[in-house]
Structure 1
Amino acid sequence: MTVRRVKGLLVAVFSVFALSVATSANAQEHHEGNETSHETREHLEDTKKEGETKFDANEVIFGHVMDAHEFHFFSWEGSDGHEHHATIPLPVILYSPTRGLSTFMSSAFEHGHKEVNGYKLEENHIVPVDENEKVYDLSMTRNVVQMIIALTILVLLMTSVAKRYKQGQGTTKAPTGFQNAIEPVIMFVRDEVAKPNLGHKYKKFMPFLLTVFFFILINNIFGLIPGSANVTGNIAFTAVLGTISLLVINFSGNKHYWGHIFNPPVPMGVKLIMIPVEILSIFTKAFALIIRLFANMLAGHIIIICLVSLIFIFSGISKVAGVGFSPISVAFAAFIYVIEVLVAFIQAFIFTNLTAVFIGQAVEEGHHGEHKDGHVEDTLAPTEPVII
């Protein structure tokens, strides 16, 4: 009940504030349109364009959630009047059939203001100056670098924990340190995800489920660090994970699983409808995994950046409005940020749990009462109560 009241209050505050701003802006525009001259209107348009160049919300939002050739933390205007950036440049690796292999650091582009070896940077994409030239970009982008870092951390942490178990710590005596923190998570995945959905076959799929869970979790947490890459909010990343799950699910499928797809236990007339639906369901399972993780992780980051960007947007209208809205924006952004920490764990669990559910459907045994004609006989014992 308290959560619903808080949500209702947040919606009401935003609605009233947006309505008041929109109304005042509309009234001001109408008033100025009646009283200002043509020259004044041109001056207002020039001022508006100048304000947009100072802060572009779209550039900030998509610059954070999209891939890039550097880690960008913040920017500031120096005493010389030029804008400076705190970044970590990444290596650029390009191959062109005409120019051959080109390697250099992304800082050589000077944030798109300079051309390097016949290449230029446009909207975080490296393109050749000659439009007819073909280039293959093999660069180490921030998504790639962050995935490598996450994978390295995952391997180091898990191998260190496994080494302690081999030494007897955690089996003959109580675990300590990081092992003590990670063991409840492993037990949770085993008892709440693997066993309920896979039954006695859970041990076979535990390494895969644990790898998926911790790999997604580490990348989710890394994505919350300012200046880092939102890897799990990238459709390419989730598409690869979904494809891997799709392969594991279908290669683990038994005769009963494939029989229900190509010969569902329904009357012959209905089979013509059910077979295409069952074949389509093979891919919709992976599609659900891909979109669910991608959409949830991307939406949270966009909301946080939008809330912070509102400070600069209102500052462009009026400094008083910008300063007055700053505490509200920061408070809401901090609130969403805390929720995103929870979402990082929840989405890792949901992806792993749904994967286990789909694998369990593929490996479950057939019913003993199922006949060759596609009908299923009631196999309940006479004394067993039927719960409807």
Structure 2
Amino acid sequence: MVFSNKLAQFILVAVIASIPYFGFANPEAVNVSAANEVVAENSTAATQETEEFSATKLINSHIGDSHEFHIADWNGHPITFYLPVILWTNNGLEIFSSEKFHHDNKAEHFVDQNGQKLVRYNEIIFYADKFETLTQDQKDNGAFEFGARPLNFSITKNVFSMFMSAIVMFLIFLVVARSYKKNQLAPKGIAGFLEPLVTFVRDDIARPNIGEKKYAQYMPYLLTIFFFIWINNLIGLIPFFPFSSNLTGNIYFTFVLAFITFIVTSFSGNKQYWGHILTPPVPKALYPIMIPVEIIGMLTKPFALMIRLFANITAGHIIILSLISLIFIFETLAVSPISGAFVLFMLVLEMLVAALQAYIFTLLSALFIGQAVAEHDHH
């Protein structure tokens, strides 16, 4: 029964966390990778010339989202794993493979779906006729040009990664639950590896910050976000398919996780918590000042959670890709040993950061919940 309750709460968190991607399939409007820019359907001999290397394009293509996985190049042709494009258009639901865009990300290739022409620009899908009416600034920041684009429910790289990590977590904890059911002695295998981590979250995060009486009811949520963030952080460090996504480096994703913590904290708040915010312990003449300050303080907590995770994960990816770019910028292999050594060092450091950021997010979430449920004695 306890496992079923935890599983239900985990599924709820995973589904809620997917909301920004169903509404804004890659809303960041990042640049497409250099490899996808070179290959186009109507390429000619002139366009086959080697483009000048751009570190910015390389970095943007890896830290941003995409409708496909670029796996490798073979004899000048990209090997790609295409993801489904799911759109709600003026003519209803449209589902097709991203292969139809032929790697075009500059709105040069049209996709005709039931009489509607669609184009893709910086990973944002637009109606072709309305796209032409936009200014360049609107095109570059087209994520919120809702009148010029269909609703995008596509399975992008980040959505694919999120589902994959959710499935991995489900399978892992299903195996662990069965292991404990069969074996009443010391845990073995995966259960033996995870038990110290679960105990750590319980004894070093939940109990000290939430309290002995109420920590147990928040353990499913804390365990879910700890392992969910950690696994996705590690997935982002693996540079090949089906990994390599930057889910936790997407500010919309971190916003939803922080918003869930805010909702849990707000609904868990007792009378003393809300009383301190709405009727702060100051003279009533100061209420017009102190109440807004208290409300702003309440809102800055999830904002700090959102920015901290997003900034740390994204910064790590940018540093690693910048070090790799040095080889192409200097156009000499003499730099590669130095660059490779620094990349290896940063990868090891990022593995530590991956666990550390999961710990910090979980710790702060427990701290905020603990402040909301704490009971104070007034004498």
Q: Does 1:151 align with 2:160?
A: no
In structure 1, the partner of 2:201 is: 189
Instruction: Give the TM-score of the pair, scaled to structure 2.
Output: 0.77
Larger RCO, structures 1/2 (Cα 8 Å, 6+ apart): 2
Give the Cα–Cα distance (whole angstroms) in 2 for the partners of residues 51 and 346 of structure 1.
Answer: 44
Give the Cα–Cα distance (whole angstroms) in 2 for the partners of residues 139 and 187 of structure 1.
Answer: 38
Equivalent residues in 2 for 1:30-49, closer than 5 Å = none
Q: Which of the residues 156, 168, 171 maps onto 1:141?
A: 156
In structure 1, the partner of 2:94 is: 102
Unaligned runs of 5+ in 2: 1-47, 132-147
Give the Cα–Cα distance (whole angstroms) in 2 for the partners of residues 134 and 217 of structure 1.
Answer: 34
SS of the residue corresponding to residue 111 of structure 2 reads coil
In structure 1, the partner of 2:10 is: none
Q: Deviations over 1:233-271 (max 9, x none)?
A: 001110110110000001000000001101111233443
Percent identity, please.
50
In structure 1, the partner of 2:176 is: 161
Q: Is the 8 A contact 2:125 2:149 kept in 1?
A: no
**How far is the alpha carbon of 1:166 from its aligned partner?**
2.5
Q: Is the 8 A contact 2:68 2:80 kept in 1?
A: yes
Between 86-95 and 344-353, the greater mean CA deviation after superposition: 86-95
Q: Is the 8 A contact 1:92 1:138 kept in 2?
A: yes
Q: Does 1:261 align with 2:277?
A: yes
Q: Does 1:130 align with 2:118?
A: no
Give the Cα–Cα distance (whole angstroms) in 1 for the partners of residues 315 and 369 of structure 2.
Answer: 28
SS of the residue corresponding to residue 54 of structure 1 reads coil
**How far is the alpha carbon of 1:344 from its aligned partner?**
0.5
> What letter matches 1:109 in structure 2?
F
In structure 2, the partner of 1:330 is: 340
Q: Is the 8 A contact 2:69 2:157 kept in 1?
A: yes
> Highest Rg: 1 or 2?
1
Give the Cα–Cα distance (whole angstroms) in 2 for the partners of residues 274 and 51 of structure 1.
Answer: 64
Give the Cα–Cα distance (whole angstroms) in 2 for the partners of residues 254 and 121 of structure 1.
Answer: 49
Give the Cα–Cα distance (whole angstroms) in 2 for the partners of residues 182 and 74 of structure 1.
Answer: 35
Give the Cα–Cα distance (whole angstroms) in 2 for the partners of residues 214 and 184 of structure 1.
Answer: 13
Q: Which of the residues 328, 336, 356 maps onto 2:366?
A: 356
Q: Is the 8 A contact 2:249 2:309 kept in 1?
A: yes
Equivalent residues in 2 for 1:74-113, closer than 5 Å = 74-75=72-73, 78=75, 83-97=76-90, 99-112=91-104
Change in CA separation of 1:361 and 1:51 when aligned onto 2, cut-off 3 Å: farther
Between 156-165 and 281-290, the greater mean CA deviation after superposition: 156-165
Give the Cα–Cα distance (whole angstroms) in 2 for the partners of residues 157 and 250 of structure 1.
Answer: 31
Q: Which of the residues 58, 61, 72 maps onto 2:59?
A: 61
SS of the residue corresponding to residue 226 of structure 1 reads coil
Give the Cα–Cα distance (whole angstroms) in 1 for the partners of residues 202 and 93 of structure 2.
Answer: 48
> What letter matches 1:95 in structure 2?
W
Q: Is the 8 A contact 1:73 1:226 kept in 2?
A: no
> What letter matches 1:70 in structure 2?
E
Give the Cα–Cα distance (whole angstroms) in 1 for the partners of residues 348 and 77 of structure 2.
Answer: 30
Q: Does 1:285 align with 2:284?
A: no
**How far is the alpha carbon of 1:114 from its aligned partner?**
3.5
Q: Deviations over 1:170-197 (max 9, x none)?
A: xx31111100000000000001000110
- Give the aligned length: 306
Give the Cα–Cα distance (whole angstroms) in 1 for the partners of residues 268 and 247 of structure 2.
Answer: 28
Equivalent residues in 2 for 1:347-386, closer than 5 Å = 347-369=357-379
Unaligned runs of 5+ in 1: 1-49, 316-321, 370-388
In structure 2, the partner of 1:26 is: none
> What letter matches 1:105 in structure 2?
S
**How far is the alpha carbon of 1:274 from its aligned partner?**
1.9
SS of the residue corresponding to residue 144 of structure 1 reads helix
Give the Cα–Cα distance (whole angstroms) in 1 for the partners of residues 154 and 310 of structure 2.
Answer: 23
Give the Cα–Cα distance (whole angstroms) in 1 for the partners of residues 124 and 266 of structure 2.
Answer: 36
> What letter matches 1:116 in structure 2?
V
Change in CA separation of 1:337 and 1:101 when aligned onto 2, cut-off 3 Å: same
Give the Cα–Cα distance (whole angstroms) in 2 for the partners of residues 358 and 62 of structure 1.
Answer: 34
**How far is the alpha carbon of 1:52 from its aligned partner?**
8.6
SS of the residue corresponding to residue 211 of structure 1 reads helix
> What letter matches 2:157 in structure 1?
R
SS of the residue corresponding to residue 336 of structure 2 reads helix
SS of the residue corresponding to residue 79 of structure 2 reads strand
Give the Cα–Cα distance (whole angstroms) in 2 for the partners of residues 357 and 346 of structure 1.
Answer: 16
Q: Does 1:115 align with 2:110?
A: yes
SS of the residue corresponding to residue 87 of structure 1 reads strand
Q: Is the 8 A contact 1:111 1:121 kept in 2?
A: no
Change in CA separation of 1:51 and 1:263 when aligned onto 2, cut-off 3 Å: farther
**How far is the alpha carbon of 1:308 from its aligned partner?**
0.4
> What letter matches 1:250 in structure 2?
S
Q: Does 1:222 align with 2:235?
A: yes
Runs of 4+ in 1 over 6 A off after TM superposition: none
Give the Cα–Cα distance (whole angstroms) in 2 for the partners of residues 174 and 134 of structure 1.
Answer: 56
